[in-house]
Every structure is written in C-alpha cells, then in structure tokens.
Amino acid sequence: MHRLNRSLLALILAAGLCITGCGNPAYVPTATAPNPSTSLQKVAAAEVAIGQAVGALQSTVIAANSKGLLSDDTTRTILQLSLKISQADAQAIALTQGIVALGPGQMTSLAALFAPIAQAVNDTLASGLVPIKDQATLTAVKTALTTVQALITGLQLVIGG
Amino acid sequence: MPFLAILGIINEALPLLQAGASIIHSWRKNTDGTVTVSVELTQAADVAAADIKQATDWLTAHPKG
C-alpha cells in the first residue's frame, strides 16, 4: 500500500507537469507568432493524464477487490464510473487528434462530454466511497479518484466548461 | 520528506512523463512567417482503450448477481 501511495503521488506530480506544459521542452512559442494551440496542447496533455490516472484508479480497485478489501458491488460502481470517464476521454482524443487549434464548436463538444463525468466523479467522491471500510483502501481509492477529478477540472478550466 | 523518498517519487514519475511525451506537435511554417502547430495524440487513444478493456473485462467477469 505504501508503494501504491508513492505511485499515486508520482502520478499526481507527472500530471501536474503535463498540465503546466513543463513536460514539453521541445515547444518554444515565438514572439512573432502567438501560439494558436496553447489550449489544445493543455487539453491534449489532460487527455493523456486522464487516461493514465483512470488506469491507476482501476488498478487500485481491482487489486483491493482481489485482496478482499473491496466488495464486488463497490468495485463495480467505481469501474463503471471509470469506464464512462475512459469513453469520454477516448471521444475527446478523437475530437482533438490532428487539429491545429480548438474552435468554439470543439470546446462546446468537450464541455458537453466532461460535464456529466465531472458530476459523476464529484458524486462518487461525496458519497460513493462510504461502503469502503478498510481505511488504507479508502485513502488509496480517494486519492486516485481525486487525481482524476483534478485533471478533469483542469481540462474544464481550459475549455471554459 | 526524506531526500531519497523524493528521488524515488521522481524516478516513478519519469515513465509517466515519457508517456506524456506521446503528444507530438507537428510544425508547419506558413507563408506569412507564422507557425501552425497541430497535436497528434499518438498513444493516448491506446491508453484509453486499454483502460476501457480492463474495466470491461472485470465487469464481464463479475456480473451483478
């Protein structure tokens, strides 16, 4: 569990760097050409980080379930939520793949994709984790889900959703 | 936090950063001298697909009874 917490902390660190653009040393904006794709780059970084964070969340709950620390019902609830997040992420990736800048239509589509997901994550964090009795498991799941929540919130800030 | 623990966390974060580098920016120099940058999410779709498969596999193996 200690190693799991370290991994989650590492994920949060990496996600933060991705969002702030520090993980992209190759890109240097020029003074003469305002970068039209800054928002797009941030959204793309968030899409990558959300996929990684959801993978960490799933691994956490599946491992806890296999150890008998998480019931099938609670595991099912969290995995169904993660499935919705991944499907929204996949659609967002398809929307943003290969384009040069985010237009208003794409921003609206992305906002519509992630608004219900963000609400579902908030609801689960607020009340969906109550059945988890093992404190270490609860902390690990809450940390993983909070990371996903932070990444989605960051993406929503970029697109104005 | 001990220095070695911080080093350990950075060490674990590096592969994630490398995965984040799967975002490739294609450059195109325009005739007016400006630069257009497009985004290619080369591995992100694979990560999302793997997540979907992992969740689907577990849910299929553990139907609500």
Residues from chain B contacting residue A102 (CB–CB below 8 Å)? none
Cβ distance B45 to A93 less than 8 Å, yes or no, reads yes
Q: Residues of A with CB below 8 A from B20's CB?
A: 14, 17-18, 23, 45, 48-49, 52
Say what the pLDDT of residue A98 is: 80
pLDDT in tens, A127-157: 999 999 999 999 999 999 999 999 999 999 9
**ipTM for the predicted complex:** 0.76
CB pair distance less than 8 Å for B12 and A6:
yes
B34/A35 Cβ within 8 A: no
Q: How high is the mean pLDDT of chain A?
A: 84
Q: How far is CA A54 from the centre of its chain?
A: 6
Helix, strand, coil: what percent of chain B each, to 5?
A: 55, 20, 25
Contact B51 A32 (CB under 8 A): no
Tell me how close the Cα of B35 comes to any Cα of chain A, in angstroms: 6
- Could you give the C-alpha distances from A12 to A46, B56, B65, in angstroms and in order? 12, 25, 36
Report the mean per-residue pLDDT for chain B: 73
Output B14 or A108, whichever has higher pLDDT: A108
- For residue B43 the two structure tokens come to 């591995």
Question: Could you tell me which residue, A10 or A31, shows the higher pLDDT?
Answer: A10
pLDDT of residue A27: 43
A59: tokens are 């691994």
What distance in Å separates residue B57's CA from the closest CA in chain A? 10
pLDDT of res. A145: 96
* pTM for this predicted structure: 0.73
Q: What is the pLDDT of residue A32?
A: 41
For residue A64, the model assigns a pLDDT of: 97
